[in-house]
Amino acid sequence: MGKKTHLKFEQTLAIVKPDGVQRSLVGEIIKRFEQVGLKLVAVKMLVPTTDHVEQHYTLDPNWRRVTGEKTIKGYKAKGMTPPSEDPLEITAKILANLKKYMTSGPVVAMVWQGAHAVGIVRKLVGGTEPLTSDVGTIRGDYVLDSYQMSDTDNRAVRNLIHASGSVEEANMEIKHWFSGKEVTAYKLFQEQVTYDVNLDGILE
């Protein structure tokens, strides 16, 4: 097995969205990823452009269809009528609102590395809709928005944070937000405790 194929090299993209920055939750969010044992390997603040945001959400060519279908299902599961039966029409609106939301102020984009980074970060972030995100997750603990409220006001749901949904998505998204030079390969001394096969360096 090649050196960098070990699970401890898995990376994921997390973005504190404009509402997270405005609510001064950057430190709290970073703390949660740090305390689980993940390593911060890239971080920057920026105001993304509309094009950059559109490209981000459409890196996966299926995103428009899948998100539209998921949204229609969500409406029906609640006994509500979706605004359209056409998934692409639904996603066009979601994307337009996401572009407004994500370009409304600075965001903090980060790359986190460690075993199962994608799955661990998704677990800590919680489900997409804050109304139903589990207690103890970032979205569950710090925000109360819902699709019902955001759809009524024709805006994106304010869910504080973006996190890659799969390793494949993470690899595409990291390249979209960071140049290779901006991601630092370095050793964190505490990683030895997490990953060393033999904990043989502790006793003097």
Return the structure tokens found at 156: 């994106």
6 is annotated as an active-site residue: no
Pick 37 or 119: Cβ nearer Mg ion? 119
CB-CB contact of 113 with 9 (8 Å)? yes
Interacting residue ranges for Mg ion, rule: CB under 5 A:
165
Strands 161-163 and 107-113, by their bridges, are unpaired
Of the listed pieces 2-10, 25-33, 155-163, 183-191, which binds ligand GDP according to CB under 6 A?
A: 155-163
Question: Please, which of residues 25-84 interact with ligand GDP by CB under 6 A?
Answer: 67, 70-71, 74
The 8 Å CB, 24+ separation contacts for 163-167 are 163/12, 163/13, 163/14, 163/15, 163/118, 163/121, 163/122, 163/125, 164/12, 164/13, 164/14, 164/118, 164/121, 164/122, 165/118, 165/122, 166/118, 167/10, 167/118
Q: What are phi and psi of 116, to 5 degrees?
A: 55, 35
Give me the least distance between CB of 194 and Mg ion, in Å please: 27
DSSP 84: -
Pick 8 or 74: Cβ nearer ligand GDP? 74
Pick 39 or 162: Cβ nearer ligand GDP? 162
140 binds ligand GDP (CB under 6 A): no
Of the listed pieces 8-16, 18-26, 147-155, 172-180, which binds ligand GDP according to CB under 6 A?
A: 147-155
* One of 103, 128, 146, 148 touching ligand GDP (CB under 6 A): 128
Summarize as ranges the residues that interact with ligand GDP (CB under 6 A).
Answer: 67, 70-71, 74, 94, 98, 128, 147, 150-151, 156-157, 159, 162, 165
Residues marked as catalytic: 162
